[in-house]
Structure 1
Amino acid sequence: MPRVPYAKPAITYPAQLQKLLDRGLNITNPDKALFLLQNISYYRLSGYWYPLLKYPKSEHNFKADSTFDKAFNMYCFDRELRKLVSAELEKIEVAIRAKMIYILSHDNDSFWYRKADLFSDIATHNTSIKKLTEEFKRSDEQFLVTFKKKYNNDLPPSWMLLEVSSIGGLSHFYKNLKPSRSKRDIANYFGLDYKTFESWLHSIVYVRNVCAHHSRLWNRVMRITPIMPTSPKNKWLTTTDIKNSMTGKSSPVNNRTYYLLSMMIYLLEIINPRHSFKDKFIDLLIKYPNIDPSAMGFPPTWMEEPLWQ
């Protein structure tokens, strides 16, 4: 199909409300709906009323029982889910940073990140160092300000410098490491082989960015797909595919929210065995009973999984 220029005009808030009514969406409180359109936006909310559309969805007509409140309820669930995921991802990120710094510093030295011979791609390594240097120069963290005053090194040791690195920066460093005992030891601490850990770390960066940009997480099909571990050292999923209720075909769940939440639980069981992430997530489902876990890729037997118990 040939591409065409986008020609849809911007429309007013009352016109947006009327469009929803014309398409069959039930709106019991127009004032509230108008307020939410003004403060959240039609386009952002459209991702949450999309599941309420009849087939074919391209005709944009709502099912008979579709309401604005249902869509907004899904939006609120997704917002709380992102907050919960973000809080737990912070713990995972901190633990990964700490373990990378510890192992690589002891196996090499404090400035291991500068050793080009540890990395597979020199151009990628140079780019990583350039980004870290920029972060170091513009940082106003007191420990770095003190370092700049006291020492004549152009960059500080890894345990200082990597504190200002993003999780994306850590992921690039790890991926670019040559296969080595250090790389294996980092992954082994988290109960994974290094290829799986590398893939999971990339997916964590992706999910963190989804949350940071307030994008839809709830029923997302992930663009970055983490690989499935072949020999995890700890409790893992026994079911890694799900059957489509419409087609009857099974497909892997590793591009769905369920798999990413399971990844987080697997890592949290190592980082903090007393974590409450599972309980908080289940409480969230109880708070929003209209949310269907299958829309997030959850199989019918997910609560029987040892990982989720």
Structure 2
Amino acid sequence: MGNIATSVEAQIRILKERGLLIENNQKAVENLLDIGYYRLGFYFYYFQNPLTHNFEENVRLDDIIDLYYFDFDIKMLLLRYIYRIEVHFRTQLVYHTSNLYSTNNVWYNDPKIVNNDILKEFNNIYYNLKTNNNTLVKHHTKYPGDAFAPAWKVFEFFTFGQTFKFFSNLKNVELKKKIAGVYGFRDVSLLNNYFISIINIRNICSHNAVLYDFNQPVGIKRIPNLKYRFKTSNTTNLNASIRLLLYLLSKVSHNRADELERDLKAEFEKGKSKILVNRIIKSKIKFDL
């Protein structure tokens, strides 16, 4: 799609001229008005000549739609379980840090406890929360003398990324080791690598970007569990991220990890019955559970 808006009828004409098979114009109009030509373009990509944008032979719009919904369903499934890990990690950070500094319920704003760099960023975040978040508005109305609310209230409204950034900026190395130990890690750098990878996947899923061809910018470190360990040398593709998610989830709840694995297998099995989805599973995701 260029710089000039086009009607859905013109979009269909362009797609047909480029060789995409559209068997039902009325359904095509519905799909394009529902999902959008631009968003679907991310799913056209692997089936087009990058220079001419012409489609491979026998590629149907229905096949592209199947891929779009497969990708969407996997994102929604992963997001549900990533949230479980997010809540657990937030709880560990707030619980262990708040108990260590039990006389300071606003430790997150103390330069003796966290690095100065994050405090500069935090001031803007907190101002927005203080003025727009009902829970914190009520707190400051009830306690007008408080410059900040207790950590256990504030962190409930931080994103996964913001929560992890506070963990990363803790000055107490032993405290970080203790939190990493909750997940069975002696090495904090292992937790850092794993959680950054999960946050990357979480951001793709929550912002509804394309998931199936996502590659981690940094390879995921070796998983210390035979059940979830990588079977190939690819440590950046979606399959590697799925294996990591299952491993971390098993640290929170074995039942939830088993549940996610079962649901993923069912979704991928359904996907294999679709022509283009099956191709993407084999060539890009390389799902091997």
The normalised TM-score by structure 2 is 0.87
Amino acid at match of 2:254: P
- What corresponds to 2:92 in structure 1? 99
Given candidates 146, 150, 158, the residue that maps to 1:157 is 150
Using CA pairs below 8 Å that are at least 6 residues apart, which structure has the higher relative contact order?
2
Contact 2:131 2:137 in 1 (8 A): no
1:237 and 2:229 equivalent? yes
Deviation of 1:144 after TM superposition, in Å, equals: 6.2
Equivalent residues of 1:95, 1:271 under 8 A apart = yes
Q: Does the CA contact (< 8 Å) of 1:82 and 1:211 recur in 2?
A: yes
Where 1:136 maps in the other structure, the secondary structure is: helix
Q: CA deviation at 1:114?
A: 2.2
Counterpart of 1:199 (choices 178, 181, 193) is 193
Is 2:71–2:210's contact at 8 Å kept on the other side of the alignment? yes
Paired amino acid for 1:136:
K
State whether residues 258 and 297 of structure 1, in contact with CA within 8 Å, keep that contact through their aligned partners in structure 2.
Answer: yes
Out of 287, 297, 300, the position equivalent to 2:270 is 287
| Secondary structure class of the residue paired with 1:118 | coil
Distance 1:17 1:277, change over 3 A: same
1:140 maps to 2:110: no
Task: Looking at secondary structure, tell me which structure has more helix per residue.
Answer: 2
Q: Deviations over 1:188-231 (max 9, x none)?
A: 21233211222332333332222222211122234x435414x7
2:256 is the alignment partner of 1:263: no
Give, as a single letter, the amino acid of the residue that structure 1 aligns with 2:238.
Answer: T
TM-score under structure 1 normalisation?
0.81
Q: Does 1:41 align with 2:36?
A: yes
2:109 alignment counterpart: 114
Task: Compute the displacement of 1:69 (Å).
Answer: 0.6
CA distance 1:149–1:134, change in 2 (3 Å) = same
Aligned length: 279
CA gap 1:8/1:153 in 2 versus in 1, 3 angstroms: closer
1:241-273 CA distance string (max 9 Å, x none): 2xxxxxxxxxx332x211221221111101111
Q: CA deviation at 1:279?
A: 0.7
Q: Among residues 2, 6, 12, which one is paired with 1:17 in the alignment?
A: 12
Letter in 2 for 1:162: F
Q: Does 1:208 align with 2:189?
A: no
Q: Given the superposition, is the C-alpha separation of residues 90 and 24 from structure 1 closer, same or farther in structure 2, using an over 3 Å criterion?
A: same
Contact 1:200 1:226 in 2 (8 A): no
Unaligned runs of 5+ in 2: none
SS in 2 for 1:117: coil
**Cα separation, 2, equivalents of 1:177 and 1:284:** 40
Cα distance between partner residues in 2 of 1:233 and 1:103: 26
Deviation at 1:133, TM superposition (A): 4.2
Whether contact under 8 Å (2:18, 2:54) holds in the other structure is: yes
Bigger shift: residues 16-25 or 109-118: 109-118
Conserved 8 A contact 1:128-1:172: no
Matched, 1:70 2:74: no
Amino acid in structure 1 at the alignment position of 2:271: Y
Paired with 1:170 and 1:234, the residues of 2 have a C-alpha distance of: 29
Deviation of 1:38 after TM superposition, in Å, equals 1.8
Following superposition, the deviation at residue 123 of structure 1 comes to 2.6
Q: Which amino acid aligns with 2:7?
A: T
8 Å CA contact 2:107–2:151 kept in 1: the answer is: yes
Q: 1:117 to 1:179 in 2, by over 3 A?
A: same
**Identity, % of aligned pairs?**
23
